[in-house]
């Protein structure tokens, strides 16, 4: 069963235990994060058994840097979006697990720092700090790979 | 001015989640820092 299916089943079962409706979003993310971590650990143990690591971009942790609305763009722009998506995905995979989950929840899910803190059960300052070092890490990774907006020919 | 923002403050400011009071303080710091740079350049 997929993580999203497990999350929604768990949500349905436990919805009555949710005391503050305003905290629904972070509560739901807590469930999702827990299932993601569980699956990640299972994959990690299988990886160790077979001594083959998934390529960046494969598996549950991969995060497609592409929005569905790009389908309506012209093919060249669509290709650039796709390339940029793959490139950033590779860079994201070089961040630590802690930094990556915060960057994704902030940049792609659009959660507030408070909501991320609640979902991950850590302090808001820790979330902000991980975000800061995550963005700094991404900047350094891009510099190491000599990736600039000029080299990818894409206006950031 | 001894105030120097930490990374948490900068992140909150970047994403528009800093309180109004702290935003004023941070922007005053930016303005002051910028003025000092301009003085150094002159």
Closest-CA residue in chain A for B9? A128
- Residue A135 structure tokens: 């963005």
Contact between chains at B7 and A113 (C-beta distance less than 8 A): no
Q: How many CB atoms lie within 10 A of CB A75?
A: 7
Contact between chains at A113 and B10 (C-beta distance less than 8 A): no
Q: What is the pLDDT of residue A62?
A: 54
Q: What are B's interface residues with A at a Cβ cutoff of 8 A?
A: 7-8, 10-12, 15, 17
Contact between chains at A113 and B15 (C-beta distance less than 8 A): yes
- In a domain? residue B1: no
> Cα angle at B14 between B5 and B30, to 5 degrees?
45
Query: What is the domain count for chain A?
Result: 1
Q: What is the ipTM of this complex?
A: 0.79
Parent domain of A124: 3-152
Residue A18, pLDDT above cutoff 60: yes
Residue A64, pLDDT above cutoff 50: yes
State the CATH number of the domain containing residue A54.
Answer: 1.10.10.10
Parent domain of B32: 7-41
Which of A99, A102, A125, A133 would best serve as a mutation to test chain B binding (most B beta carbons within 10 A)? A125
Q: Nearest CA of chain A to the CA of B8: how many Å?
A: 5
* Residue A119 to residue A32: CA distance in whole angstroms: 9
Q: Nearest to residue A63, comparing CAs of A91, A104, A34, A20?
A: A104
What would the pLDDT profile of B2-20 be if each residue is shown by its tens digit? 889 999 999 999 999 999 9
* Residue A115 to residue B36: CA distance in whole angstroms: 38
Sign (positive/negative) of CA torsion A133, A136, A140, A145? positive
- In a domain? residue B27: yes
Which residues 6+ apart lie within 8 Å of A149 measured at CB? A155, A156
Query: What is the domain count for chain B?
Result: 1
- In a domain? residue B35: yes
Q: What is the dihedral of CA B12, B13, B19, B23, to 10 degrees?
A: 150
- Residue A110 structure tokens: 């659009």
Q: How many beta-carbon contacts under 8 Å exist across A and B?
A: 22
- In a domain? residue B2: no
Closest-CA residue in chain B for A103? B11
Q: Nearest CA of chain A to the CA of B4: how many Å?
A: 16
Q: Nearest to residue A111, comparing CAs of A95, A127, A88?
A: A127
Mean pLDDT of A109-123: 94
On whether the pTM is more than 0.90, the answer is no
């Amino acid at each position: 069963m997929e993580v999203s299916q497990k999350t929604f089943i768990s949500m349905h079962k436990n919805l009555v235990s949710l005391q503050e409706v305003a905290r629904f979003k972070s509560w739901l993310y807590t469930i999702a994060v827990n299932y993601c971590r569980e699956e990640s650990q299972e994959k990690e143990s299988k990886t160790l058994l077979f001594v083959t690591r998934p390529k960046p971009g494969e598996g549950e942790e991969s995060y497609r840097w592409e929005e569905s609305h790009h389908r309506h763009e012209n093919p060249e722009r669509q290709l650039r979006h796709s390339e940029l998506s793959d490139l950033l995905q590779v860079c994201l995979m070089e961040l630590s697990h802690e930094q990556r989950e915060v960057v994704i929840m902030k940049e792609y899910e659009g959660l507030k720092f408070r909501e991320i803190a609640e979902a991950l059960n850590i302090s808001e300052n820790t979330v902000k700090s991980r975000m800061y070092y995550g963005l700094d890490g991404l900047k350094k990774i891009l510099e190491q790979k000599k990736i600039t907006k000029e080299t990818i020919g894409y206006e950031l | 001015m001894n105030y120097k923002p930490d990374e948490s403050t900068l992140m909150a400011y970047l994403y528009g989640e800093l309180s109004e009071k702290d935003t004023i303080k941070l922007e005053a710091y930016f303005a002051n820092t910028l003025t000092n740079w301009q003085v150094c350049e002159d």
